[in-house]
Amino acid sequence: MPSTSDLIQSEPVTGRMTGTMAVIPADKILDATCNDLVERVRAACLDPGFLVIDLDEQMQTSITATIKQMRSFFALNDDHAIKRAVRQDRSRNGWQPRYSEPSYQPGTVSNLEAYDLGIHEVLASDDECWPDMPDFRATVCQCWDRYLELADATLRLIAQAAELDTDFLVDRCGTRELNSFRLLHYPEDMTASRKEDVGISAHTDFECITLLYQDSLGLELRATDGRWIDADNGTGRIIVMLDDMLERWTNGEFSATGHRVRQTGEQRFSIVMFMAVDDGLDIAPLDQFTSENNPPRYPPVTQAAHLDAEIRRAIENAEQN
Distance CA 108, CA 196 (A): 5
What structural domains does the chain harbor?
A: 4-320 (2.60.120.330)
pLDDT band at 92 (very low <50, low <70, confident <90, very high): low
Length of the chain: 321
Phi, psi of 320, deg, nearest 5: -85, -10
pLDDT in tens, 279-290: 999 999 999 999
Average pLDDT, the chain: 92
Cβ(52)–Cβ(237) below 8 Å = yes
Cβ(119)–Cβ(179) below 8 Å = yes
Confidence (pLDDT) at 227:
94
Cβ(69)–Cβ(63) below 8 Å = no
Confidence (pLDDT) at 91:
59
pLDDT higher for 245 or 2?
A: 245
Mean pLDDT of 101-116: 93
Cβ(170)–Cβ(152) below 8 Å = yes
Please check the confidence at residue 191 and state whether its pLDDT lies above 70.
no
pLDDT band at 36 (very low <50, low <70, confident <90, very high): confident
Cβ(4)–Cβ(222) below 8 Å = no
Distance CA 42, CA 49 (A): 9
pLDDT band at 233 (very low <50, low <70, confident <90, very high): confident
Does the pTM surpass 0.85? The reply is: yes
Please check the confidence at residue 99 and state whether its pLDDT lies above 80.
yes
Q: How far is CA 41 from the centre of its chain?
A: 18
